[in-house]
Amino acid sequence: MSRRKLPHELKLGRRTLLRGALAGGLVAVGLPTLEAMLDDHGTRLASGAELPRRLLTWLFGNGCRLEHWVPATQGPDYALTAELAPLANVKGACSVLTGFRNYVAGRRGHHDGVAGIFSGHPFIQLDPMGAPYASKFGGPSIDQVVADVIGTETYIKSLQLGVSKRHLQNQGPTLATMSHRSPDQPLMAERDPGKLYDKLFMSFSPPDDPSAGLRALALDAVLEDAQSLKKRVSTSDRQRIDAHLESIFQLQKQILAIPPNCDVPQKPDVEPYNPDGTEPLYELNEAMARLLAMAFSCDLTRVASYMFTGASGGAQFHMLPPSEFPEYPGGTDYSHADHHNVSHINLPYEQDFIHKSVIVSMENLAFLLELLASIPEGTGSLLDQCAVLAASDVGEGWIHSEIDFPIVVAGGAGGRLKTGIGHYRSPSEESVTTISLACVQAVLPSPDDVPAIGGTLGVYDGYTDTPCAAIVA
Amino acid sequence: MSRAWALATAMAVVAAACGNETPPLPPVTASPPFDPADAPMRRLLASQYTASIGVMFGATAAQVATPPGDNELHGYTTIGAAQLSMTDDLVATYEISARAVASAAMGEAARIAELLDCSPQGPGDRACMESFVGRAGRLAFRRPLAEEEVERFADVGMAASQQLGDFYAGVELAIVALLQAPSFLFVVETGSPIPAEPAKSRLDGYELAARMSLFLVGAGPDEALLDAVAAGELDTPEGVREAARSLLGDPRARAALRHFFDEYLVLRDLGTTSKDPSRFPSWSPALAASMREETMRLMADIVWKRDADLRELLTADYTFVDERLAALYGVDPPESGSSESGWARVTLPTAQGRSGLLTHASILSRQAHATSTSPTYRGLFVLERFLCKTMPSAPNDVVTELPPSSTAPTMRERLAVHLEDPSCASCHAPVDPIGLALENFDSIGEHRTKENGATIDASVDHPYLGSFDGAQSLALALLAREELASCIVRNLHRHATGHVETKGELPAIDALVAGFVAGGHRLQPLLVDLVSSELFRTVATVDGGLSE
């Protein structure tokens, strides 16, 4: 269980910010922010622009054991509980938020949860008429709301990554991914570190590549084809073609961008599965965390979602040893079991297993946060420039509870979020979306850029225009 | 009205069946009134994308295709493909794939020459470029290109040809563009409004050919089929039936039907299903692959080899095993050298009471937990997939506490709480008993008579399926339900068209079901009937016909 290695320092190369000329506009291509480009105080770029702030949403599936999660006291000096203990090294940068409620809940456990906290929109239930159940998000997830504002300035608008491949894929987009541009645009996470590496560092056209212009030219014909198709199809299909057009524009921009001067790290080499068919969760998480830290640090993107394990997902916590329960001889080795299935069995052995799996999840979150905290940026660290919203899709896993989701907000978002508040427990069952909105607004140029998030559908109400006061600086 | 029509059709089919030794089904020339459904644009599935490239440029080019993956919705990837939109990642992935395919296609000199149908006279030979775009584009877009479309993609080719001084570099870039065009990546099925009923539109021959070819052989139409459309051969139901029969004779139809059954029976991720190694040491990805293959072999035996009654899928007392499965089922392994494939048809031991798919290790393993069976999963699977019934999920804040096996040794006893607590029973009562009838098969489908030392009782009373004891009588109870025939038709239709049937379509589906039943539940004739039906050829007019 404690095979975790300390993140070693990322070696960053020369830092600069290049701008690529392109017909119709400029694409800023991300690079490590150059010390030489910082002003004398190291708090802004020499150009006067603020240091970039980043949003990261992070999911672990199937909730926690509240008795082992919720700290006994509030404030900065609270004692870490067993499930929060892995966050000890970044405790000061983390706010543990309990007692919040998901007001879009009431229809279908895990669907309610991810849609609630990561979008605030009640999910759309798709009428199955005898077909298997499915749902999709009711509106964009918060990472995409943010990407629309600050993602256009970077090489990649937003990144979606994941660790466990054993996430639920047969109940529609809601559970398949945590990032949704619109109800019909789920953005699937990359779970292969090698492929993520290629996407981040190998997809640039070399500056003197003559094919770049031709590739962009081919896309012009594709754009025209899309435009002419639009005339023949339905209103809803026209919207789908618009989405296609938007992505083609984005690709053209990328093809014509000048590649960043980012020191390309080593390509990660992690097998997707262990020889016994289980997943090397720690190793995959470490590789993904390093790539994400590099992408943020090089300013390739400022927005990411990170699905460590899926909502209602079947990750195997094969590293957990069988527990000893002499009074309960029915115990079984759950190291190969589907996490979600086990979570619903309210027996001592199974719930002890779930408890330990939450600790594993927090160890993996801690690795990522410690890594971000170890990378200097400006006068502080990369983590100081991030708003990280880490949460699960239900509270107490085995009953799908709608209150008391495990939620940790980490990072100061360049001073826009309070750090050092420790544990805060809502006295009034505030909406989880107030936390989401606070994280959204913290990374935007101005909170007014997105005054509210979420929506309502009958009694399900995730709309909020009030960011969580406990964490807004 | 529709019932009378269905009856008439059924009688016609029976009459035909009696009069001939190998009865050809009568052409479906009439159709009960129905309201067609919307047909949103449908992104090619990854397999359809790759196979379509095979049709255009051959197997070598298809091999380097790297399309993005599919998203399943309501059990089918085609439904996901019809509802979801493009994203940055998908578009970027298609671009990479298009460039790789185009580069590989240029190595297929003979095929490129065929598609050119001219000898390029240097980098400025626009006529030859247009000839290429016209031919390759017709395969890509599954229809002839309009003049401005030929120009558009020839422009791309000519720009590269002249910039690089190489005609073939132009061809390559034209391919790159064609393969990223929405007209290739999306199946567009708008049809034209029927004059008397403008809210309904009929697919034209090209749209129908594409829908049919993608369904039956998993690839866009080839040149022969497009030529047949151009010659008007798909304008009559009999012409469509002829084309369908020809496609069913294509070896690719076998793979396409496997694809359907993979999704229908939820076997795609069987290989990554995991089992507790201490309880099931024989479980491995290789064993899972054998299980999946067994199911596909039974299906192929019934559908392709014998064109037999599809209900044998549920009742078969025989199956196909390799060495691994023979050990699991306790039958003799295939004699070495008896068959080059390592597979043999075997009769299952009577004492195990196995019954077709219901006791296939593939389905029993997939619908079970890592450590134990799941009568609930197995029951849901049977209800959903064979009878098209859906169940609500467990409500939030429900207590899912089951007693430990120390006090309740069998799953039946542990699950009793589901049926005793009224709040659980309302949903579990029709579900769990089906799975309990399969309790003689453990989490990987091995036969057993005891669990934790206690004898397993597989007899149950079901709220509407009657009483049954074990898999074989469960199969008979299912065979007695009329939903069984309609459910397979509905599932095929979902997969073929990319949408869950609407209420308005049900009369037409019922008519197909009647023909299927009357014809002896044979799948091949059903496929022909389905693709030649008005249901398959008619869609709701774009925006209800109100946009113009």
For residue B87, the chain A residue with the least C-alpha distance is: A247
Quote the CA–CA distance of A164 and A318 in Å, as a whole number: 12
Residue A43: per-residue pLDDT: 67
Q: Which residues of A touch B275 (CB under 8 A)?
A: 336
Which whole number is the average pLDDT over A70-79? 97
Q: What is the pLDDT of residue A9?
A: 30
* Contact yes or no for A337 and B369 at CB 8 A: yes
Mean pLDDT, rounded, for A217-238: 95
Contact criterion met (CB < 8 Å) for A277 and B159: no
- Residue to substitute from A112, A187, A192, A214, interface B, most B β-carbons within 10 A: A214
Residues of B in contact with A183 (CB under 8 A): none
State the average pLDDT over residues A99-115.
91
CA dist A54 and B139 (Å) reads 45
pLDDT in tens, A142-190: 999 999 999 988 889 999 999 999 998 888 899 999 999 999 899 999 9
Record: contact A250-B190, CB cut-off 8 A: no
Query: Mean pLDDT score of chain A, rounded to an integer?
Result: 86
- Cβ <8 Å between B71 and A176: yes
Distance to chain B for A473, nearest Cα, Å: 34
Nearest CA in chain A to B263: A170
Four-residue CA torsion sign, A131, A132, A138, A144 = negative
Tell if the CB–CB gap between B371 and A232 is shorter than 8 Å: no
Please say whether the beta carbons of B459 and B439 come within 8 A. no
Instruction: Test A214 with B173 for CB contact under 8 angstroms.
Output: yes
CB neighbours of residue B538 within 10 Å:
23
The tens-digit pLDDT sequence of chain B (548 residues) is 344 444 444 444 444 444 344 444 444 446 789 999 999 999 999 999 999 999 999 999 999 999 999 998 888 999 999 988 999 999 999 999 999 999 999 999 999 999 999 999 999 999 999 999 999 999 999 999 999 999 999 999 999 999 999 999 999 999 999 999 999 999 999 999 999 999 999 999 999 999 999 999 999 999 999 999 999 999 999 999 999 999 999 999 999 999 999 999 999 989 888 888 888 999 998 999 999 999 999 999 999 999 999 999 999 999 999 999 999 999 999 887 666 689 999 999 999 999 999 999 999 999 998 888 999 999 999 999 999 988 776 665 565 566 667 778 888 988 887 778 877 888 888 999 999 999 999 999 999 999 989 999 999 999 999 999 999 999 999 999 999 999 999 999 999 999 999 999 999 999 999 999 999 999 999 999 999 999 999 999 998 776 54
Q: What percent of chain A has pLDDT over 90?
A: 66
Query: Please, what's the largest Cα pairwise distance for chain A?
Result: 73
Which chain B residue lies closest to A131 (C-alpha atoms)? B74
Distance from CA of A125 to the nearest CA of B (A): 11
Q: Are B247 and B253 in contact (CB under 8 A)?
A: yes
Closest CA to B451 of B438, B433, B460: B438
pLDDT at A33: 46
| pLDDT computed for residue A282 by the predictor | 97
Spatial contact of B78 and B493, defined as CB atoms under 8 Å apart: no
Average pLDDT over residues A101-105: 93
Burial of B439 (0-12, 13-18, 19+ CB in 10 A): buried
With b for 16 or more beta-carbon neighbours within 10 A and e for fewer, the B220-240 pattern comes to bbbeebbebbeeebbeebebb
- Span A332-387, pLDDT tens digits: 678 888 898 888 877 788 889 999 999 999 999 999 999 999 999 989 999 999 99
What's the pLDDT at A106? 84
CA atoms within 13 A on the CB side of B161: 24
Cα dist. B184→A237, A276, B145, B542 in Å? 15, 41, 11, 20
Distance from CA of B80 to the nearest CA of A (A): 8
Q: Do B272 and A228 touch (CB under 8 A)?
A: no
Per-residue pLDDT, averaged over A301-317, amounts to 95
* Chain A residues whose beta carbon lies within 8 Å of the beta carbon of residue B85: 182, 184-185, 239-240, 243-244
pLDDT over 50 (residue A321)? yes
Angstrom distance (rounded) from CA A283 to CA B72? 29
Q: Which residues, at least 6 apart from A179, have a Cβ–Cβ distance to it below 8 Å?
A: A57, A141, A143, A144, A158, A160, A186, A187, A189, A305
- Pick the residue from chain B with its C-alpha nearest to A223: B181
Of the candidates B275, B396, B542, the beta carbon closest to that of A400 is on B396
Among chain B residues, CA nearest to A222: B181
| N residues, chain B | 548
pLDDT (0 to 100) of residue B294: 98
Q: Provide the residue count of chain A.
A: 473
DSSP string, B267-325: -TTGGG----TTT-TT--HHHHHHHHHHHHHHHHIIIIIS--BTTHHHH-SEEEE-HHH
CA distance B75 to chain A (A): 6
> Would you tell me how many other CB atoms lie within 10 Å of the CB of residue B122?
11
CB B258 within 8 A of CB B296: yes
Mutate to test the interface with A, among B87, B93, B143, B166 (most CBs of A within 10 A): B87
What is the average pLDDT across A220-233? 96
Minimum-distance CB partner of B369 among A240, A244, A338: A338
pLDDT for residue B93: 94
CA B59, chain centre distance (Å): 23
Dihedral of CA atoms A384, A257, A204, B89 in degrees, nearest 10, equals 70
Q: What is the pLDDT of residue A329?
A: 63
Q: Tokens standing for B65? A: 């295709």
